[in-house]
A and B are shown apart, each in its own frame.
Chain A
Amino acid sequence: MSALTLDNIAALPGNAALQTLRQQAADTYTRTGLPGKRDEDWKYTDISRLTAALGESWWTTSEPQTVDINDVAAIEDLDAYRLVFVAGRFQAKQSNIPAGVQLLPLAELLNSDAHEDAHCLFKLDESAPLFNGLLAANSALASDGLCACIREGIKLDKPLYVVHVGNSTAHVLSGLMLGANAEATLIEHFVGTDSSAASLSNIATYVRLQDNASLTHYRLQLESDKQLHVGRVEVKQARDSRYTLHAVELGGSLSRADIIINLSEPGASCDLNGLFVGSGRQHIDHHTRIDHNAPHCRSRENYRSVLDGRSHAVFNGKIVVAEGAIKTDSAQSNANLLLSKNAEIDTKPELEIYNDDVKCAHGVTVGQLDKNQLFYLKSRGLPEDEARQLLTFAFADEVLVGMKIKAVRRFIEKEAFAKLPNLSDLEGMLT
């Protein structure tokens, strides 16, 4: 394997100290390489497809392109602060930054030599859960991202809507910090424009929530057909903080996300909702890891997948309850609907519990549509196809009902259902 070198990173933003951090990350990547099939966490996801498709070109951030955000299938009727990234670079002209909060594109922050606050995002911890070479490559190669600090007690009046326009190789690194009692909503939307182009989106997002802070995070992956997408979301939660994730996987040829939640102080709580809709030969993989490291923390996890064609999904949900984390309240559910006999799901709940005083529920289902429900609908006069579609949509929609922003929910319903054998009129179909 050839080495990721200074040549690849010299042109990237950051002062000498940061270049050193980038070089260290590059060395780490060169040492670890890409995860392989022997790696238990990558058993079902063959990332060699990345080099097969792109060779070593994925090390190089694509040249900037001009994309008009109005030409992109963005969410309509969304009242939000829109922040646009094209090919991993912030587009100031197409964006509006909220006033009164500390929010800057990463590159701008790195190029203004005044402070080195953002450097901590580049420091790698190889002992972190699900650490891998792609994350090291992200640190070495990150061209831009979003750095925001919502100060104590601030409630952001509108969501941050971050649109990443893909079809280009981009290494994006973002950091979001919410001070005590702060509240915000982050919508990350990954979207492509060219269905024939293959490249890599390598996206890392770090979140820190201080005491009683609350973040709702929509992570919407709608890359174009051939795009490869790898992502990592790492959240550290202080006392009584709340984190809600709505992860939706619709696009790309291969998409992998690692979601790592550290409930580090008492009373912290997280809700992870995931929906995969796979068709064709799509491969979708989420590895989630929730660490209950303090007493009285709560976690809820609800992942669903609807798989058609020859699509393949992987769900691995690991929950670790530490020794002192008494009164842990945790529930995990993963339900999978296979619409075709060639579709495949590998699902694995993993619980590691190191004390007695906990409540941990988990359940997995894999199957086809419920026969009783199907008969019920048919007995009311619905044709078989329509009944099947209706049940399929209702199954998928169950994880979307928690989305409080209606414009996002409607957008995702439309995009998700468009991938499945379709009814003409969705109006009023679901509750």
Chain B
Amino acid sequence: MLKVKNLHASVDGKKILKGINLEIGAGEVHAIMGPNGSGKSTLSNIIAGRDGYEVTAGSISYKGKDLLAMEPEERAWEGVFLAFQYPVEIAGVNNTYMLKAGVNAKRKHQGEQELDAIDFMQLVKEKAKMVELDQSFLSRGVNEGFSGGEKKRNEIFQMAVLEPSLALLDETDSGLDIDALRIVANGVNKLRREERSIVMVTHYQRLLDYIEPDFVHVLADGKILKSGDKSLALELESRGYDWVKEEEADRIKAA
């Protein structure tokens, strides 16, 4: 599904990613954990196609295609979805309209017939129910006046409607209280599919209590230092990140 090879990237001349290697198979759930400033968000932003990052080396292939050569909307059409760490407020733009435009652009790209307003309305109502989003949110401006938890829930709602094959959840759990986290996590779990890969970028092991990952990676100082199964997350929770960095330092010394 996704192959990240030796990815180096910088922002304003500052090196952030220093050789990321990551392979994500269809239907797998990966958690990327790491301390603040390690490059977690940079990685998900580069995959989604945000401006302002310079890829200096390496490659990302997605379903066999060169992802970095695509515009963000083309990536969306190919099934990439980013749940934003900080969802953007767009006053005046109708939430449902935005999604309809997105879904129909994707369908057009795939040579499918566009959905009409009635079919689409039915679809969004179903999906809103699934993620326990009040229907009043459908006709509001995109994230306009939403609370932090509502914004995150709106992201998962959008994921439900857009039905991506690769979903990147960038700190979707940050800033949520337990109840809100449970709702968001339930939404994600309902969206797990055999063919749908999910990458969760997170700070807190807590999220993994609700969404069980197949793989856990530790990202620190622009590199993936360690990969394992979900037991690694528990180890990180009890021991912190420093021991991983020390192991890496020892490994470099030994080499």
Separation of A427 and B162 alpha carbons in the complex (Å): 21
Mark contacts of A389-431 with chain B using CB atoms, 8 A cut-off: 1 yes-contact digit, 0 otherwise. 0110111011001000000000000000000000000011111
Between A372, A382, A395, A397, the greatest number of chain B beta carbons within 10 A of the residue's beta carbon is seen for A382
Are the CB atoms of B105 and A428 closer together than 8 Å? no
Are the CB atoms of A398 and B72 closer together than 8 Å? no
Identify whether the interface residues of A are mostly helix, strand, loop, or mixed: helix
Cβ-based interface call for A66 (8 A): no
Between A384, A401, A428, A431, the greatest number of chain B beta carbons within 10 A of the residue's beta carbon is seen for A431
Are the CB atoms of B97 and A398 closer together than 8 Å? no
Separation of A376 and B97 alpha carbons in the complex (Å): 14
Are the CB atoms of B76 and A381 closer together than 8 Å? yes
Cβ-based interface call for A378 (8 A): yes
Interface residues of B toward A: which range? 35 or more
Residues of chain A lying within 8 A (CB to CB) of residue B50:
375, 379
Mark contacts of B137-155 with chain A using CB atoms, 8 A cut-off: 1 yes-contact digit, 0 otherwise. 0011110100000000000
Are the CB atoms of A431 and B92 closer together than 8 Å? yes
Assuming A380-B158, A398-B91, A430-B94, is B101 touching A390 (CB within 8 A)?
Answer: yes
Between A377, A380, A391, A394, the greatest number of chain B beta carbons within 10 A of the residue's beta carbon is seen for A380
A356-399 residues at the B interface, CB under 8 angstroms: 370-373, 375-384, 386-387, 390-391, 393-395, 397-398
Assuming A381-B105, A386-B101, is B76 touching A394 (CB within 8 A)?
Answer: no
Are the CB atoms of B90 and A376 closer together than 8 Å? yes
- B140 smallest CB distance to A (angstroms): 6
Q: B51, B93, B117: which contacts A375 (Cβ < 8 A)?
A: B51
Kindly report which residue of chain A lies nearest to residue B104, judged by CB atoms: A381
Cβ-based interface call for B96 (8 A): yes
Separation of A373 and B93 alpha carbons in the complex (Å): 11
- A290 smallest CB distance to B (angstroms): 25
Separation of A169 and B158 alpha carbons in the complex (Å): 55
Cβ-based interface call for B103 (8 A): yes
B153-178 residues at the A interface, CB under 8 angstroms: 158, 162
Separation of A430 and B90 alpha carbons in the complex (Å): 10
Are the CB atoms of A377 and B51 closer together than 8 Å? no
Separation of A380 and B83 alpha carbons in the complex (Å): 10
Separation of A431 and B48 alpha carbons in the complex (Å): 27
Cβ-based interface call for B71 (8 A): yes
Cβ-based interface call for B69 (8 A): no
Residues of chain B lying within 8 A (CB to CB) of residue A375:
49-51, 72, 88
Separation of A394 and B140 alpha carbons in the complex (Å): 13
Are the CB atoms of A378 and B92 closer together than 8 Å? no
Separation of A397 and B144 alpha carbons in the complex (Å): 15
Residues of chain A lying within 8 A (CB to CB) of residue B77:
381
Separation of A370 and B106 alpha carbons in the complex (Å): 23
Assuming A376-B84, A376-B88, A391-B93, is B73 touching A431 (CB within 8 A)?
Answer: no
Are the CB atoms of A373 and B90 closer together than 8 Å? yes
Are the CB atoms of A398 and B92 closer together than 8 Å? yes
Q: A373, A395, A401, A428: which contacts B94 (Cβ < 8 A)?
A: A428
- A375 smallest CB distance to B (angstroms): 5
Mark contacts of B83-115 with chain A using CB atoms, 8 A cut-off: 1 yes-contact digit, 0 otherwise. 010011011111011111111011000000000
Between B76, B87, B140, B144, the greatest number of chain A beta carbons within 10 A of the residue's beta carbon is seen for B76
Residues of chain B lying within 8 A (CB to CB) of residue A373:
88, 90
Are the CB atoms of B73 and A390 closer together than 8 Å? no
- B96 smallest CB distance to A (angstroms): 7
Compute the total of residue contacts between A and B using a CB distance below 8 Å: 99
Are the CB atoms of A372 and B98 closer together than 8 Å? no
Are the CB atoms of A428 and B96 closer together than 8 Å? yes
Residues of chain B lying within 8 A (CB to CB) of residue A428:
94, 96-97, 100, 117
Cβ-based interface call for B82 (8 A): yes
Q: B49, B91, B117, B162: which contacts A380 (Cβ < 8 A)?
A: B162
Assuming A390-B101, A428-B117, is B72 touching A379 (CB within 8 A)?
Answer: yes
Separation of A431 and B141 alpha carbons in the complex (Å): 6
Are the CB atoms of A378 and B76 closer together than 8 Å? yes
Separation of A429 and B99 alpha carbons in the complex (Å): 10
- B122 smallest CB distance to A (angstroms): 15
Residues of chain A lying within 8 A (CB to CB) of residue B82:
379
Residues of chain A lying within 8 A (CB to CB) of residue B141:
394, 431
Residues of chain B lying within 8 A (CB to CB) of residue A398:
91-92
Q: B51, B84, B93, B144: which contacts A390 (Cβ < 8 A)?
A: B93
Kindly report which residue of chain B lies nearest to residue A371, judged by CB atoms: B51
Residues of chain B lying within 8 A (CB to CB) of residue A378:
49, 71-73, 76
Residues of chain A lying within 8 A (CB to CB) of residue B144:
431
Assuming A371-B51, A379-B49, A381-B77, is B97 touching A429 (CB within 8 A)?
Answer: yes
Between B71, B72, B140, B162, the greatest number of chain A beta carbons within 10 A of the residue's beta carbon is seen for B72
- A403 smallest CB distance to B (angstroms): 14
Kindly report which residue of chain A lies nearest to residue B83, judged by CB atoms: A379
Binding site for B on A (CB under 8 A): 370-373, 375-384, 386-387, 390-391, 393-395, 397-398, 401, 427-431
| Sample of 13 more A-B contacts, CB < 8 Å, known A375-B50, A380-B162, A398-B91 | A370-B88, A375-B49, A375-B72, A376-B88, A378-B76, A379-B49, A381-B73, A386-B105, A387-B73, A390-B101, A397-B92, A428-B94, A431-B144
29 A-B residue pairs with CB within 8 Å: A373-B88, A373-B90, A375-B49, A375-B50, A376-B84, A376-B90, A377-B90, A377-B93, A378-B49, A378-B72, A379-B76, A380-B98, A380-B99, A380-B162, A381-B73, A381-B77, A381-B101, A382-B101, A383-B105, A384-B73, A386-B105, A390-B97, A391-B93, A393-B92, A394-B92, A398-B91, A398-B92, A428-B94, A428-B117
Binding site for A on B (CB under 8 A): 48-51, 71-73, 75-77, 81-82, 84, 87-88, 90-94, 96-103, 105-106, 117, 139-142, 144, 158, 162
